[in-house]
Amino acid sequence: MLEGELIGALGLLSSESGFFKDEHLEIVQEVANQLVIAIQQARLNEQIRRHSCDLEERVKQRTAQLEAANKELEAFAYSVSHDLRSPLRAIDGFSRIIVEDYADRLDEEGNRLLNVVRDNAQKMDKLITDLLSLSRVSRNEMNLTNIDMSGMAGSVYRELASPEVKDRFNIDIGPMPEGYADPVLMKQVWSNLISNAMKYTLPRDEPFISMGGYREDGKNVYYVKDTGVGFDPKYEHKLFGLFQRLHTEKEFEGTGVGLAILQRIVHRHGGSVWAKGAVNEGATFYFSLPVREVSDNDGK
Ligand code: ADP
């Protein structure tokens, strides 16, 4: 019997009456008990297998629904940003024409207000550019290849540094492990980190930026360290969120998108990002990348 249900019967037959003694019956009872346990076990296993199949199927369905919703949202954000651009450029272009051709017919306040309109249109254009590059990070295919990370960091720095930065800043670019990543996206990572380091260090005396890398716990780690204004470590978790800024627009211009792009790129590569800093004591931004697994066919 299994939970009140009869699932089978064991019988003993003999031509001699009284052949089976109590001990024989006890043995048969014990065998029957063991059989019940085995059948119960097999039924439970079957139930568990069915439940886990169900669960797997449901997880698959939910993941597909989520992926579709995400893609739709990305496409929506992309086209909205794209479509916002032309009216915005018209506002900027026409207000520029007024500033250039009609300035003498406006008083000082009129000119000031027009410039405010242009400034804001340009800020919004920058924001749209940043949002478009954020959505491009996940839209485009990745082409993974070996990258000389130290060389890339150096060339990005030379491209971005203004003459003032080149003049005043001390720069140190140390050795770094070779990266295995998408070169276009990696260039964007370096560009976001280096332009931030320059921006948030510019007001300081003796500005210094150092970059380097090392291998740790089976990952390649890269960093950009500066002697800039730093940040309150209490809010470190906010740094990489979209539109999150720890400094005001008055102190430093920005959109709060750069580090969100950086995080998305690094996550897409299977790595992670983090930062250390203190107010007025500089900041260090780190990102890691998985080490390339070399297969037996490599180099043959
Ligand atoms: P943005 O610089 O356009 O505001 P980011 O996403 O690049 O946007 O950075 C988010 C915030 O992180 C910045 O507003 C700033 O408060 C902080 N931050 C980024 N880089 C640095 C740095 N090198 N030193 C100090 N704070 C930084």
pLDDT tens-digit series, residues 212-256: 999 999 999 999 999 999 999 999 999 999 999 999 988 999 999
- The pLDDT value recorded for residue 192 is 97
d(CA 259, CA 182): 18
Probe ligand 1: pick from 257, 259, 287, max atoms within 8 Å of CB? Answer: 259
pLDDT at 131: 86
pLDDT in tens, 76-127: 888 888 888 889 999 999 999 998 999 899 999 999 999 999 999 999 998 8
Pick 78 or 186 by higher pLDDT.
186
Pocket mutation for ligand 1, best pick of 223, 246, 285 (most atoms within 8 Å of C-beta): 246
The closest of 131, 191, 205 to 158, measured between CA atoms, is 191
Report whether residue 207 contacts ligand 1, using a CB cutoff of 6 Å. no
Token pair, residue 129, equals 């550019």
Which protein residue has the closest C-alpha to ligand 1 atom 24? Answer: 230
CA of 186 to the centre of ligand 1 (A): 18
pLDDT tens, position by position, 6-43: 878 888 788 888 888 888 888 988 998 899 999 999 99
Distances (CA, A) of 265 to 104, 155, 181: 49, 20, 10
Q: Where are the domains of the chain?
A: 1-139, 145-298
Instruction: Between 246 and 132, name the one with better pLDDT.
Output: 246
Alpha-carbon dihedral 36, 38, 41, 46, rounded to 10 degrees: -100
Could you tell me if 253 and 192 are in contact, meaning their C-beta atoms sit under 8 angstroms apart?
no
Architecture of domain 145-298: 2-Layer Sandwich (3.30)
